[in-house]
Structure 1
Amino acid sequence: MKVVVMGAGVIGVTTAYYLAKQGAEVVVIDRQSGPGQETSYANAGQLSYGMTSPWAAPGIPMKAVKWMFMKRRPLFIWPLISPTMWAWCARMVSNCNEESYRINKGRMVRVSSYSRDVMPELIAETGIAYDGREQGTLQLFRTAKQMAASQADQDILAEYGSPYDVLDRNSCIGAEPALAEVRHKFVGGLRLTADRTGDCRMFTVGLTKKCVEMGVVFHYGQVISSVAVENGRIAGIDTEIGERITGDAYVCAMGSYAVRVLNPIGIKLPVYPVKGYSVTLPVTNDEYAPQSTVMDETHKVAITRLGDRIRVAGQAEIAGYSNRLGPHAVDTVKHVIGDLFPQGGDISKAEGWTGLRPMTPDGTPVLGATQYDNLFLNTGHGTLGWTMACGSGRAVADLVLGKQPEIFMEGLTAARYSR
């Protein structure tokens, strides 16, 4: 079987790997000059198995209002004249209730837990180096109120079997010794011991090389103009240079841009681009640098150690398909690294980046079958594409090849939006 995968980010490349591993002939199309050049390029670096949860949660609408008035706020909403944006926001708000939250979280945990279980096997098979660490995530609380509110998260973690430790100030310093320098700035934390870290782009580039060795063909610099439909099936992918790339089956793994090629053929997905920011800076003193990931609960900013670098990522900006990196765009993430690890890295050498996270209003990715029997989806992972990549790639590859996935697919497909 020949399979055409649209997208060479971490989702598309892992899908291609699992397809090729099972004997498929695979072609990957991407508009960029190489793999992992967009949302996979400089994300937070977290494999957040313990922190897998939808943004749409009880209390979020009120928190969002408060965030809008913070000096270094984690959320920006630009008042665009965009029915699509406001409709997506309304659907997200409609999911901010206890019942929806538990349903959506359960679906997301199903994918992330599967990804956690299968990723070590892939690493063992390929030997990819990606600056990986297995030292967990420390969610850092600056106030006693935040510490108390974490009880709800602890209950959910316990329900889903995600291991965690509740830490006082000294125990936080035990996990991240450099925090001793700023011990007066926090009261405690929640450590998610199953979480891992690693450079998503390094992983994607390394896995791409393995895919090429397995016979996968990558077509870079190919902008998709349309998806051709004939007799109720996908007949090929037309590119802007006038080429039609054909196969027996097709997988759309284009993140936020999936809707642009799917809408014209009648597949309406509520996937919206939510912009995030990061900076990457060199470690200057290991003693004063983070050892794994520290999540600042106040600013919703993650600080992650990636080898001899520190990645600081966060913020959510709802502003359509804007990739603009303005002069003050990364002020918040720079503030957080300077506030918690002031001697750990050289902020003057920080490289800024912005990317579009493909968010669904319920937080759950969109995987699997569509109304066309030879078109499959692997998109809508939001901030958790790196976390869910191996699991969703393997499950979708199984579906494409007519096999039963190892995880239950109910609630993960596009069918949930047509009810």
Structure 2
Amino acid sequence: MRVVVLGSGVIGVTSAWYLAQAGHSVVVVDRQPEPALETSFANAGQISPGYSAPWAAPGVPLKAMKWLVQDLAPLRIAPRLDPVMLGWLSKMLANCTQSAYARNKARMLRVAEYSRDCLVELRNEIGIEYDNRAQGLIQLFRSEKQQAGSVNDIRILESCGVAYEPLERDQLFQYEPALKHVADKLVGGLRLPGDETGDCFKFTQTLAQRCRELGVEFRFNTEIESLQAEAGEIVGVKTAQGDIKGDAYLVALGSYSPSLLAPLGIKLPIYPVKGFSLTIPITDPERAPESTVMDETYKVAVSRLGDRIRVGGTAELTGFDLSTPESRRANVEFVVNDLFGGSGDPSGAELWTGLRPMTPDGTPILGETQYRGLFLNTGHGTLGWTMSLGSARYVSDLINNRKPAISTEGLSVTRYNRAQPSGQVARA
């Protein structure tokens, strides 16, 4: 079977890998000149199944109101009337109940834990290197209130069989010795020993080369214009360089998936949430993090990637704006300087931004659609790197008519969209 994969980020490339492993002829199409140049390029580096949780949670609406007026806020919303953004926000707010949070977090953990297992299997199989460290993640608390609030997350972790380790302040230093320098700012943490760290860009580029060795064809610098449908079936992809035909089509375009699918009547509630990262050369390894620390106060992650520190975080709801104002550097730079001051050279830091494709309930959208031959692997939000292998293998199994290794409950587009095929050729 010939499968056309739209998108060459970590989601598209891992999908191509599993499809090629299954013996299919695979074509990957992307507007960029090489893999992983958009959201996968410089993310926070976390492979964090244990930390997988929806943004929509009890108490978030009140927190968000406070964030909008505080310095170094983890969230910024553009002051404009954007009906798409407002609609997405209303759906997210509807998920800010305890029952919805528990349901959505359990779904996310299901995919993320499976994905981590797939990554370990792949690493053992082909020996792929990507500055990986399997030393866990620490959710860092600066207040007693934060530490007490972790009880609800711990209950869900226990129900899903996810390993965790509550840490008092002095126990933090066993795993992150450099935090001794700022002990007075911390009260404790929650360690997730199954979480890992790694360079998503390096991983994706390397796996893409292994895909080529399996015969996967990459068509770069190719603008995707629309999907072509006839009688409820996808029959081709229209691109600026001509039509591409296949037997199955997989959309892995992140934040750009909704605009491609809307003409088909498939409405995906995915909104681009803009995030920032800094990549800083390490100058003093003893003051640098050993793995990954997530600062719960500022929602910023600090990870060690080889001889660099990657600092990622903040969220902006500003549409498809990809500008990188220096004012946003302060949010991520403050945390690394506050926790790991003297570890790196800020003058050599590279500021980057990317659009994270967020669903209102936090769970990605995976699997079949109402159109024959059309599959989705999108909407992973901040957890595309974390969920990539598991999502790709799950969707590959569905394309192969195999039963996936995890439950399909709540993962498909049907939880949002029950529209029927129009049978018309779509024009994006």
| TM bucket, shorter chain | over 0.9
Q: Any conservation in 2 of the 1:274–1:359 contact (CA below 8 Å)?
A: yes
Q: Output one character per residue of 1:200-252: Cα deviation in whole Å (capped at 9) or x when no partner.
A: 111100100000000000000111111111232111111123x1011000000
| Structure 2 partner of 1:116 | 116
**For 1:39, what is the secondary structure of its paired residue?**
coil
Greater CA drift, 103-112 or 247-256: 103-112
1: distance between equivalents of 2:146 and 2:57?
16
Cα offset, 1:265, TM superposition:
1.5
Question: 1:15 corresponds to which residue?
Answer: 15
Check whether the contact 1:126–1:207 (CA below 8 A) recurs between aligned residues: no
Q: Distance in 2 between matches of 1:255 and 1:65?
A: 27
Structure 2 counterpart of 1:257: 256
Secondary structure of the 2:4 match is strand
Distance 2:372 2:395 in 1: 13
Deviation, 1:284, is 0.6
SS at 2:326 equivalent = coil
| Residue 339 of structure 2: aligned partner | 340
Q: 1:280 offset after TM fit, Å? A: 0.3
The answer to whether the 8 Å contact 2:362/2:380 transfers is yes
Residue 220 of structure 1 is matched in structure 2 by 220
* Counterpart in the other structure of 1:410: 409
Deviations 1:266-310 (A, max 9, x none): 111101100010000111111110000011111000000001100
Aligned to 2:282: 283
Contact 2:277 2:310 in 1 (8 A): yes
Equivalent residue letter for 2:142: R
Residue equivalent to 1:177? 177
Partner of 1:57: 57
Separation in 2, partners of 1:220, 1:51 = 34
SS in structure 2 at match of 1:329: helix
For the 8 Å contact 2:267–2:417, the answer to whether it is kept is no
Partner in structure 2 of residue 148 of structure 1: 148
**Is the partner of 2:102 in helix, strand or coil?**
helix
Specify the code of the residue in structure 1 equivalent to 2:29.
I
Counterpart Cα distance in 2 of 1:406 and 1:153 = 25
| Percentage of pairs with the same residue | 55
1:162 is displaced (CA, Å) by: 1.4
Q: Tell me, in whole angstroms, the C-alpha distance in 2 between the residues paired with 1:192 and 1:274.
A: 25
Counterpart amino acid of 1:412? L
Moved more, 247-256 or 77-86: 77-86
Gaps of 5+ in 2: 419-428
| Count of matched residue pairs | 418
Q: Report deviation, 1:366.
A: 0.3
Q: What is the alpha-carbon distance in structure 2 between the residues aligned to residue 204 and residue 56 of structure 1?
A: 29
Is residue 277–residue 354 contact of structure 1 (8 Å, CA) maintained in 2? yes
Distance 2:226 2:194 in 1: 41
Question: 1:109-159 CA deviation, whole Å, 9 max, x = no partner?
Answer: 111111111111111222211011111111111112212222222222222
- Separation in 2, partners of 1:408, 1:153: 21
Cross-structure match for 1:206: 206
User: What RMSD, in angstroms, separates the aligned Cα atoms of the two structures?
Assistant: 1.0
**1:72 maps to 2:57:** no
- Once residues 365 and 341 of structure 1 are traced to their aligned partners in structure 2, the CA distance between those partners, rounded to angstroms, is 33
In 1: Cα distance, 2:316 partner to 2:90 partner = 16
2:327 alignment partner in structure 1: 328
Distance in 2 (CA, whole Å) between partners of 1:209 and 1:29 is: 15
8 Å contact 2:30–2:223 — kept in the other structure? Answer: yes
Q: Which residue of 2 aligns with 1:355?
A: 354
Distance 1:63 1:244 in 2: 48
Q: Name the residue aligned to 2:130.
A: 130
Q: Specify the SS of the correspondent of 1:330.
A: helix
Moved more, 252-261 or 324-333: 324-333
Q: Look up the equivalent residue of 2:322 and give its one-letter code.
A: N
C-alpha separation between the residues in 1 aligned to 2:162 and 2:327?
Answer: 37
Stretch moving more, 296-305 or 224-233: 224-233
> Which residue does 1:3 correspond to in 2?
3
Deviation, 1:344, is: 0.8
- TM-score, normalised on structure 1? 0.98
Per-residue deviation, 1:379: 0.2
CA distance in 2, matches of 1:95, 1:214: 42
Q: Which amino acid aligns with 1:239?
A: T
Q: What secondary structure does 1:315 align onto?
A: strand
Q: Which runs of structure 1 show a deviation greater than 2 angstroms over 4 or more consecutive aligned residues?
A: none
Partner Cα separation in structure 1 for residue 139 and residue 56 of structure 2? 19
**Aligned AA (2:135):** Q
CA–CA distance in 2 between the matches of 1:394 and 1:10? 13
